[in-house]
Structure formats: C-alpha cells, structure tokens
Amino acid sequence: MFQTRQILTLVFMMAAVNASAQMQADVPVQKVIRLAASQYKAFVQKYPDTTRYARDTGADGSLSESRAGDWISGFFPGCLWYMNQLSGDKRFEKYAEKWTAGIAGQKDNKGTHDLGFMLYCSFGNGYKITHNEAYKQVLLQAAISLSTRFHPEVGAIKSWDNRQFHYPVIIDNLMNLELLFWATKVSGDSSFYKIALAHANTDIKYRWRADNSSFHVLDFDPVTGKLLRRMTHQGYADQTCWSRGQAWGIYGYTVLYRETRDSRFLNQAIKAADYFLAQTNKIPDHIPYWDFQAPDIPNASRDASAAAIVASGLFELSKYAGKNNRYYQQAVQLLKALCADQYLATEGSNNYFLLKHSTGHKPNNSQIDVPIIYADYYFLEAIWRYKNYSKLDFFKS
C-alpha cells in the first residue's frame, strides 16, 4: 500500500511538472529574454548617453530619443529593471541605475500629470528590487508634486496645461494613481490615497459609454467642476474607441481595485476588458487597430502597445475576477501574438526595440506603425507576470 501511494504521489508530481512546463511553453519566454538582452546591451553600447532615453523610430527610420522631462522617459530604465529580474544578468542593474538617475530631477516637476509613468516605472521598479532609500525619497517627492495638480472642485488631477481645453482629465492619467497609493502605504500620509480615490470616483462617473468603451478626454469647468465635454484627442473621433485608451482603462481600473478593494472598479475593469477582447477576437492575429472604429479597417494601423498593456493588465485582472475566468488565457493569447514574427523584432534590427507596429498619435500623424518604448515596457512586464504568475503577491507595491 505504501509503495502504491509513493507511485501515485510521483505520478501526480510529474503531471504537475509537465503541466507547468507546458504552460511556460505556451509563450517563448526564454526567446524573448535572450532577444531583449541582446537588443538592450547593443543599445547601451551604441547610445551611451544616460541623459537620453529611447523613444521610438522616426519617419526616416532613425532612432528617436527623449530627454528626462518627456512623459515616456521612465520606460527605458523600467525595461532595464525588468531585464535585471528576467535575465539574472547583474549588468542590467547597473544599466538601470545609470538611466534611472537622470530622471531624479523630475520629482519636483509640477507641470505634468505623468510622474507615475516617468518615476514609478523607473524609480518604483528600482526601489522594489534594491530598497534604495534615495529612490523612496524621489518617489515620495514625486507624489507631492503630482498632488498639486488635484483640483477639489473637479475632483480630479489635471492632465494637460493646454489652452485647447478647460480642465482636461485623460484616461492615461489613471496610470499615475499607483504612485499615490504607494506613497500612502510607505509614508502613512493618507492625503495621497484620498486624492487618488477622488480622481477614480470622478473618472468612473463619466469615463464609460453604455457599451463600456471609453472616452479619451473628459473636459471640466475648473470653477464649477461641471463636465463640459467628453471627447478624444488621439482617437479617430469623439464617439469612437481609441484602443490604447481602452488599454489604459483596463489596466488602471484593475490597479484601482487592487488598492481599494472597491467592487465598482473591478466590475468596470471586467466590462472594459470584455469590450476590448470582443474587438480583438474579431481580428485574426488579435492585435488591435489603433482605433476600433477606424474607417480604413482592415487596413488601419495596428497598435502593439495596446496589446502589451492589456496583456499585462489581464494577468492581474485574472487574479481578481473569480474562478474559471478567461482573462489569463486571453493574456497568453495576446502575448503569443506579440511573439510572432510579424511583431517581434529580430536581433540587431528595429533600432534595438523589441516590438514592431505600434501607433502613438495617428491624428497628429505621429508615431505611426513604428516601435515605441512603452510597448516594450509593458511587453516585458507581461512576460515577467506570466513567468511569475504562481506568486500570488507579485502585484504588491
């Protein structure tokens, strides 16, 4: 009897190992890690200026870089921090430290809502790994600076200082709230949490259409707090759904649920994800068009960055959405699509970016069908989440 039990135990253990191996085989994780290691090592050797940050590929095919004050400056060091974790190669920690350091001065920048993108993706990832006290102080000061853009009458953080709008609040802004939630947990100062929650409450009141597609821009009267207009800036039209905006919403509302445990945010994340997936499941390779109602579909530009953001967000959403939900498999499906030859670069190509075919600002004729650094960032984050999915606490700040 004892021997039989031993045999059965061994069989079950082998089955579990095989199942785990099969799950890992669904996405070519090691292929991506090897490619990213090669691409980024080549990048830092060719472009050693640590005050300039990979941005995209210009219309002429050359590399486009940004300075520290650009909203996307934190993504390249964020990629390097993820490669430190994924590859185990300590050289990436050194690279990450160097490219992160140049953004530190942005902690005092009160002229942008993007401090979460800029500093939480760089210093935030670095702090999780190194517990460097200096990194924590940069992040706390950034949270203070971001908080100055909150208007109590509107109940939201202002996005752009642009005379084209009165008081714009864009869906992208949801991604900067994680910095504020983190700041309360670390400092004990509840004012950051209260601002983030107030912004979320305002957002959920106005952001979503009846079909759970999203408006890009909410424009308010800063005196009365009244909503003046719901519109787009980077989508095709005010009544269409800009796919990356929908991606920000899925990811952002998932984080809102994690930090507040308010079921309203979870339910909206699920509804937004269902809308996104209903659209991408109509597309043979599942990579979204830049706008889901673009008039030139199926010839419209794709946006691999939106797929990468949603893949990463769905891995977390699947943790909260209950048993037998489909979000994990949908995340894997998106990752596998991004790993196909059509979207994943070959070694030495693509200006050392990982993903091809992203679209930044189509109405402005900018960044159309090119590699963009935030696509790489969320792609690597999704790979890391996939690889570490069984670790139930890996979403903690």
Helix, strand, or coil (residue 267): helix
Q: Which of 56, 70, 114, 203 is catalytic?
A: 114
Tokens coding 152: 């109590």
Helix (H) or strand (E) holding 53: strand 53-57
- For residues 22 and 19, what is the distance between their CA atoms, to the nearest angstrom? 5
Which of 57, 46, 26 lies closest to 304, judged by CA? 57
Global pTM value: 0.93
How much is the pLDDT for 394?
Answer: 59
Segment 181-219, tens digit of pLDDT: 999 999 999 999 999 999 999 999 999 999 999 999 999
Domains in the chain, CATH or no CATH each: 33-387 (1.50.10.10)
Lowest-confidence region among 122-131, 209-218, 248-257, 386-395: 386-395
Segment 34-66, tens digit of pLDDT: 999 999 999 999 999 999 999 999 989 999 999
- The confidence band for 18, taking pLDDT boundaries of 50, 70 and 90, is very low
How much is the pLDDT for 163?
Answer: 85
How much is the pLDDT for 4?
Answer: 47
Backbone angles phi, psi at 217, to 5 degrees: -120, 130
How much is the pLDDT for 323?
Answer: 73
How much is the pLDDT for 25?
Answer: 54
- For residues 157 and 172, what is the distance between their CA atoms, to the nearest angstrom? 11
Q: Which of 70, 172, 291, 303 is catalytic?
A: 172
Segment 333-369, tens digit of pLDDT: 999 999 999 999 999 999 999 999 999 999 999 999 9
Distance of CA 24 to the CA centre of its chain: 22
C-alpha distances (whole Å) from 166 to each of 114, 169, 225, 245 are: 18, 10, 11, 20
Tell me: cis bond preceding 298? Omega within 30 of 0 counts: yes
Q: Is 172 a catalytic residue?
A: yes
- For residues 287 and 103, what is the distance between their CA atoms, to the nearest angstrom? 32
Q: Is 114 a catalytic residue?
A: yes
